[in-house]
Amino acid sequence: MGSSTMPNCSRSFTIACALVVTFLSATSVVAESVDRPSVKVRVDDYALVAVDLLARAQDEVKQLYAAIGVDTTWLETRRLSNPDDVSHTEDAHAAEVTVIVLGSSMTTRMAPPEDAVGMAARTPTDNGRIAYVFYDRLQIDPLQSDASSVAALAFVMAHEIGHLLLPYGSHSDTGIMRGRWNRTTFRRLEVQRLRFTPLQGRQIRHLLDFAW
């Protein structure tokens, strides 16, 4: 009788262990997810960017921030034609950051520096919550491929969001926060080869964890 009960005990012990391991694994996954800082981003699209192109660019940005341990949640894109269509203060609590993609006429009206392809609305003491992309200036070549257009848009969005999450003037010599680009290097842009520096990653995570 003793020998007949041993297999049952062994089976029960094995099942119990498996349940414990499964529980601990699930707990670990939940904890890891909760511990990762995150940023919500809404796009206000006045340039009427192709839906697929914008979605691919957003995915590229998401991967760039995931590489430094930050989750990116894209809120529903608002496709607009008139700058008076939206008040950016009315839903300040709904989106952490808003990226406004401007068409040529609105870019001309804003009159940014001629070599600027984007801008973050912030000051030395306030990080701000709004970034701009001057979309017409990303169309550097009539024969530009979709992949090049996606990379250019992803880079500028990631760069300008970075300015909202980093200390003022956080340019670097290389990577996502590189400050100077010419048309030749921009045409050959491979956005997934770019990275935030380890210091920039720590600074962004710190801001999202403690300041917002």
> In this structure, are residues 61 and 152 in contact, taking their beta carbons and an 8 Å threshold?
no
Mean local confidence (pLDDT), 52-68: 96
The predicted pLDDT at position 85 comes to 63
The predicted pLDDT at position 192 comes to 67
Which residues does residue 120 pair with via DSSP β-bridges, in sequence order? Answer: 131
Least confident of 51-55, 57-61, 134-138, 196-200: 134-138
Q: 144 falls in which pLDDT band (50, 70, 90)?
A: low
Q: 21 falls in which pLDDT band (50, 70, 90)?
A: very low
